[in-house]
């Protein structure tokens, strides 16, 4: 079912060439009653004839070209908030047109499914001001609040006001880059801040990529494979090349002060919690999506988001030295591409990060 707030299929539009012949077929042969126009026998001058089929209407519309592939029926869904439904579909990669007004108070938005078949959303302007979508968690019923409530106003402001978005991104980025002052509290502070902002925006972590995967084994396999491949690239190519110009100490000295088994275990726990999950949630899940909200959910918008989040990611690790900042920024590009390439799946990013760091720690533990 399409992820709209009601999921109500209100009409199917069929494009026809001969209106009289088609009305006769559906009315006389199939027994469907003509709802509009009423009391008419000759339909040649009508471009729109509505037949009642129960809870859904069949619309016969002139303009058919006699080509089955070009005259595909169009599905029309009724929604109570067309702008919120359109934004939700755009976030999921669905091709959607702009919202336009057809009749006074009526709003329409055209879309295309993966095979190019047309569908549309229909709503009314008066309903736009009554409710707004708060959460769209996969597998759960959407939650609504009034736009006139405090939370409704905050959701509208944080979702639509570009200046507020920019200010929010700057504040979160400043906190992320304050590791010198906050130390170990940096990630905890940022995570709490981000969770509060997501609540104010009416979003959930599942919408950002932490929904329950259906194929856990594949997710784990891909994450472990990508992590191992990048660890090899880091060890054999990226690290040595950057260290040749910066002359640093070992690029992970902050993780493990000694090579005892106890230190290794505690460092692995820290790595998988703070680096693998928290950092991927904050940088790839929150920051990258928020930058796309600001610059657009299209190709250029995501490209800008990809670059900027990697820059912030590198600066946030500047306390560990310029080499670590550069290497981390490069990894941010890789992780961002992985996030986009996996249809924004944070599980793959987290497992990849954890596997990569685990491999690096294993090398250090082995004295390599």
Q: What DSSP assignment string belongs to 283-351?
A: IIIIIHHHHHHHH-SSHHHHHHHHHHHHHHHHHHTGGG-HHHHHHHHHHHHHHHHHHHHTTS-HHHHHH
Is there a single domain that holds both residue 241 and residue 286? yes
Q: How far apart are CA 270 and CA 160, in angstroms?
A: 37
**Is 241 domain-assigned?**
yes
Q: In this structure, what token pair is assigned to residue 273? A: 């919690």
Q: Nearest 5 degrees, angle CA 48-CA 52-CA 58?
A: 50
**Is 138 domain-assigned?**
no
Is there a single domain that holds both residue 191 and residue 114? no
Q: In this structure, what token pair is assigned to residue 245? A: 């110009």
Domain holding 75: CATH number? 3.10.180.10
Q: How far apart are CA 130 and CA 144, in angstroms?
A: 10
Is there a single domain that holds both residue 90 and residue 192? no
Is there a single domain that holds both residue 209 and residue 70? no
Q: Which domain holds residue 199?
A: 163-365
Q: How many domains does the chain have?
A: 2
Is there a single domain that holds both residue 226 and residue 338? yes
Q: In this structure, what token pair is assigned to residue 183? A: 């130390």
**Is 229 domain-assigned?**
yes
**Is 143 domain-assigned?**
no
* pLDDT tens-digit profile, the chain (368 residues): 233 444 567 788 888 888 888 888 778 766 778 888 877 788 887 878 888 877 778 888 887 665 544 556 777 777 877 887 887 778 777 788 888 877 777 888 888 766 676 778 888 776 555 555 555 555 555 565 666 667 777 888 888 889 999 999 999 999 888 765 555 677 788 889 999 999 888 888 888 888 877 788 999 999 999 999 998 898 888 888 888 777 664 444 444 455 667 777 878 888 888 888 999 999 999 999 999 999 988 889 999 999 999 999 999 888 888 888 899 999 999 999 999 999 889 999 999 999 998 888 887 777 66
Residue entry with tokens 């820290």? 270
Q: In this structure, what token pair is assigned to residue 355? A: 């596997």
How do beta strands 100-101 and 48-52 pair? unpaired
Is there a single domain that holds both residue 91 and residue 177? no
Is there a single domain that holds both residue 256 and residue 308? yes
CA distances from residue 302 to 29, 47, 173, 280 in whole angstroms, order as listed:
52, 42, 18, 17
Three-state secondary-structure class, residue 49: strand
Is there a single domain that holds both residue 206 and residue 339? yes
Is there a single domain that holds both residue 224 and residue 329? yes
The partner residues of 96 in beta bridges, in order of sequence, read: 111
Phi first, then psi: give them for residue 113, nearest 5 degrees: -80, 175
**Is 140 domain-assigned?**
no
Is there a single domain that holds both residue 273 and residue 180? yes
Q: At how many degrees (to 10) do helices 150-160 and 185-201 cross?
A: 110
**Which residues does 131 contact at the CB level (< 8 Å), separation at least 6?**
5, 80, 81, 144, 145, 146, 147
Q: At how many degrees (to 10) do helices 162-176 and 185-201 cross?
A: 160
Three-state secondary-structure class, residue 104: coil
């Amino acid at each position: 079912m399409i992820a709209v707030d009601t999921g109500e299929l209100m009409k199917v539009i069929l494009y026809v060439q001969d209106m009289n012949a088609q009305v006769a077929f559906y009315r006389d042969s199939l027994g469907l009653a003509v709802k509009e126009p009423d009391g008419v026998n000759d339909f040649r001058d009508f471009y729109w004839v509505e037949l009642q089929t129960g809870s859904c209407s069949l619309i016969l519309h002139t303009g058919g070209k006699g080509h089955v592939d070009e005259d595909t029926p169009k599905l029309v869904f009724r929604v109570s908030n067309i702008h919120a439904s359109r934004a939700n579909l755009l976030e999921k990669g669905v091709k959607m047109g702009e919202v336009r007004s057809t009749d006074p108070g009526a709003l329409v938005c055209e879309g295309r499914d993966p095979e190019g078949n047309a569908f549309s959303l229909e709503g009314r302007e008066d309903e736009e001001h009554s409710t707004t979508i708060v959460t769209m968690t996969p597998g759960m019923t959407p939650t609504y609040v009034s736009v006139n409530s405090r939370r409704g106003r905050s959701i509208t402001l944080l979702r639509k006001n570009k200046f507020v978005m920019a200010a929010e991104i700057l504040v979160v980025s400043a906190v992320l880059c304050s590791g010198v002052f906050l130390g170990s509290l940096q990630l905890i502070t940022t995570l709490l801040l981000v969770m509060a902002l997501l609540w104010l925006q009416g979003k959930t972590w599942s919408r950002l990529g932490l929904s329950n995967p259906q194929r856990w084994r594949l997710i784990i396999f891909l994450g472990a494979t990508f992590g191992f491949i990048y660890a090899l690239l880091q060890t054999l190519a990226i690290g040595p090349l950057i260290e040749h110009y910066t002359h640093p100490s070992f690029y992970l000295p902050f993780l493990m002060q000694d090579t005892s088994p106890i230190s290794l275990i505690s460092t692995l726990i820290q790595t998988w919690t703070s680096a693998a999950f928290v950092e991927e949630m904050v940088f790839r899940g929150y920051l990258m999506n928020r930058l796309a909200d600001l610059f657009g959910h299209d190709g250029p918008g995501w490209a800008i988001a990809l670059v900027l989040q990697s820059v912030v990611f590198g600066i946030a690790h500047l306390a560990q030295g310029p080499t670590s900042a550069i290497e981390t920024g490069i990894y941010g590009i890789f992780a961002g591409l992985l996030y986009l390439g996996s249809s924004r799946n944070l599980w793959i990013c987290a497992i990849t990060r954890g596997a990569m760091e685990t491999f690096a720690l294993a090398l250090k533990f082995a004295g390599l």
